[in-house]
Amino acid sequence: MRRNWWKVLCTVLIFYTLIGGLLFEVPHKKILNETIRNIYFHVPMWFGMMVLFTTSIVYSIRYLRKPDLVLDIHAAAYARTGMIFGILGLVTGAMWANYTWGKAWSNDIKQIGAAMALLIYGAYFVLRNSITDIDKRAKVGAVYNIFAYAMLFPALWIVPRLVESLHPGGAGNPGADPRDMDARMRFIFWLGAVPGFILLGLWMTNLIIRYRKIEDKNLLHG
């Protein structure tokens, strides 16, 4: 229980987000209306993705400093759940855009950025699978992971600030627009949705890592 308190916390937060996000009162904005609830589910995906990809990088750097296959398993697992979050973020965003912008894909700079991130991490897994030697796979994978992250994240953080975007809160700030959320929404968003989904991502990764460790038992200890 002492080690697993965060799983309980995660479950509570997710249920709080689901119930609060779908049932509680929200401000009625033009065009947005009830679709504003999507902010509880769409935006935390990006927070989760950033956290997971960043954690993956940390493990890749640690692998290069001290080659240990467990670290490589961690790096790949975090990248994998990061991708799941990215895909979900893209899908929830496209569904929402279908109702508010009129079409699912409108070449918005942030849609391009998200698609780019998914392609890059897709390439990461293709690269890993193309190498059969385990140690070499871990090393080359780590190098590509770090390089791709270093190329991708400045682009994700800087470019949206330079060009116009359809996203709410555009005009210089690619994040959530604080004016669109009232106090109660902000409470659910920052205290429920964001930490809840990040913890869920960590939990999922944790399961993948444990599974991989059992699968590769012979490699890790033999």
Partner 1 sequence: MRQEAIIRHILTLLKKDILLEFRQQYTFYGVLLYIASTIFVLYLALQQPDSTVWNGLFWMIQLFICVNAVAKSFLQETRGRMLYFYSISGAQQFIIAKLLYNTFIMLIMSVISLALFRALLGNPLLHFWQFTGIVCLGSVSLSLVFTMLAAIAAKAQQQASLMAIMGFPIIIPQLLLLMRISKAGMGEIFQAGALSDLVWLLCGLDVLVMVMAVILFPFLWRD
Kindly state the tokens that stand for 87.
């895909």
Report the nearest approach of partner 1 to the CB of residue 86 (Å): 12
- In whole angstroms, the minimum distance from the beta carbon of 216 to partner 1 comes to 21
Residue with Cβ nearer partner 1 (64 or 94): 64
| DSSP-derived secondary structure letter, 35 | G
| Residue with Cβ nearer partner 1 (18 or 146) | 146
Nearer to partner 1, 91 or 158 (CB): 158
Quick one: which H or E segment has residue 26?
Answer: none
> How far is residue 99's CA from residue 31's CA, in Å, rounded to a whole number?
9
Distances (CA, A) of 171 to 25, 164, 190: 27, 7, 22
What's the min distance (Å) between Cβ of 107 and partner 1? 11
Report in angstroms how near the CB of residue 166 gets to partner 1 at its nearest: 16
d(CA 24, CA 11): 19
Residue showing tokens 């930490």? 195
Give contact residues for partner 1 (rule: CB under 8 A): 64, 112, 116, 119-120, 122-123, 126-127, 130-131, 136, 139-140, 142-144, 146-148, 150-152, 154-155, 158-159, 162-163
Q: What are the CA-CA distances from residue 99 to residues 19, 59, 151, 185 (Å)?
A: 23, 39, 33, 21
Nearer to partner 1 among residue 8 and residue 123 (C-beta)? 123
